[in-house]
């Protein structure tokens, strides 16, 4: 059974940093592109970042230079390093596996940026 479990969310002050993790199991992690998608309360999902099987990375414009996505295939783990956080980054952050579409999602981890 495919499982994705996020962790690392929490309350952080504006300008602060957080590192999100996503532990994957039940599939060959190295064979799939992986993504982070966020969703603010009452809003639709917003794609944030993705990483290919070759380590190629992609970001939405609003997080470029502040967020860094990475993966550790030996640990079946996906990460999102978030720096210079802003109030607008407040959301539930999901990791998602890409196959055709995003076919598996984690339960999400809440990031709150507030003073």
Options 41, 44, 74, 115; binder of other proteins; rule CB under 8 A: 44
Options 16, 23, 58, 76; binder of other proteins; rule CB under 8 A: 58
What's the rounded Cα separation, in Å, for the pair 50 and 63? 12
CB of 15 to other proteins, least distance (A): 26
Is residue 9 a contact residue for other proteins (CB under 8 A)? no
Find all residues with CB under 8 Å of 25, minimum gap 6, and list them.
2, 3, 76
Query: 79 with 72: CB under 8 angstroms?
Result: yes
Positions touching other proteins (CB under 8 A) are 35, 37, 44-47, 50, 58, 60, 94, 100-103, 105-108
């Amino acid at each position: 059974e495919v499982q994705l479990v996020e962790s690392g969310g929490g309350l952080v002050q504006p300008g602060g940093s957080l590192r999100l993790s996503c532990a994957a199991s039940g599939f060959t992690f190295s064979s799939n592109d992986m993504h982070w998608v966020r969703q603010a309360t009452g809003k639709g999902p917003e794609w944030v970042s993705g990483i290919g099987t070759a380590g190629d990375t992609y970001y939405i414009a609003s997080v470029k230079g502040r967020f860094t996505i990475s993966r550790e295939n030996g640990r079946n783990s996906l990460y999102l390093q978030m720096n210079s956080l802003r109030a607008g980054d407040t959301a539930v952050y999901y990791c998602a596996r890409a196959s055709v579409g995003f076919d598996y999602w984690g339960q999400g981890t809440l990031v709150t940026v507030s003073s």
